Amino acid sequence: MVTSTHTGATRPAAAEPSAPGAMWRPLDRSARVFVAGGRGLVGSAVWRELLREGFTDVVGPGSAELDLRERGAVFDWFAETRPDVVVLAAARVGGIKANATRPAEFLSENLRIQVNVLDAALEQGVERLLFLGSSCIYPKFADQPIREEALLTGPLEPTNDAYAIAKIAGVLQVQAVRRQHGLPWISAMPTNLYGPGDNFHPEHSHVLPSLIRRFHEARRTGARSVVNWGSGTPRREFLHVDDLARACVHLLERYDGDEPVNVGTGTDLSIRELAELVAEVIGYRGRVEWNADQPDGTPRKLLDISRITALGWAPRISLREGVGDVYTWYADRLGSGDVRQ
- pLDDT digit string, tens, across residues 81-124: 999 999 999 998 776 677 778 889 999 999 999 999 999 999 99
140 is in an annotated binding site: no
Q: 63 in a domain, yes or no?
A: yes
Q: 112 in a domain, yes or no?
A: yes
Q: 19 in a domain, yes or no?
A: yes
SS3 of residue 185 by DSSP: coil
Catalytic residues, by residue number, are 163
Residues 87 and 33 sit within 8 Å (Cβ to Cβ)? yes
Report how far residue 20's alpha carbon sits from residue 23's, in angstroms, rounded to the nearest whole number.
Answer: 9
Counting as low any pLDDT under 70, the low residues of the chain are: 1-18, 95-96, 203-204, 335-341
Per-residue CA distances from 116 to 113, 263, 286, 298 (Å): 5, 25, 48, 30
272 is in an annotated binding site: no
78 CB-contact burial (10 Å; exposed 0-12 / middle 13-18 / buried 19+): buried
Q: 186 in a domain, yes or no?
A: yes
Q: 223 in a domain, yes or no?
A: no
Report how far residue 128's alpha carbon sits from residue 183's, in angstroms, rounded to the nearest whole number.
Answer: 7
Q: 245 in a domain, yes or no?
A: yes
- Give the global pTM: 0.90
296 is in an annotated binding site: yes
Range of the domain at 118: 13-197+237-266+301-316
Q: 207 in a domain, yes or no?
A: no
CATH of the domain at 102: 3.40.50.720
183 is in an annotated binding site: no
220 is in an annotated binding site: no
How many C-beta atoms surround the C-beta of residue 27 within 10 A?
22
DSSP 133: -
42 is in an annotated binding site: yes
CA 211 to chain centroid, in Å, comes to 19
Average pLDDT, the chain: 91
297 is in an annotated binding site: no
> Is the torsion defined by CA of 238, 305, 231, 96 positive or negative?
positive
SS3 of residue 170 by DSSP: helix
Q: Indicate the number of domains in the chain.
A: 1
Q: 131 in a domain, yes or no?
A: yes
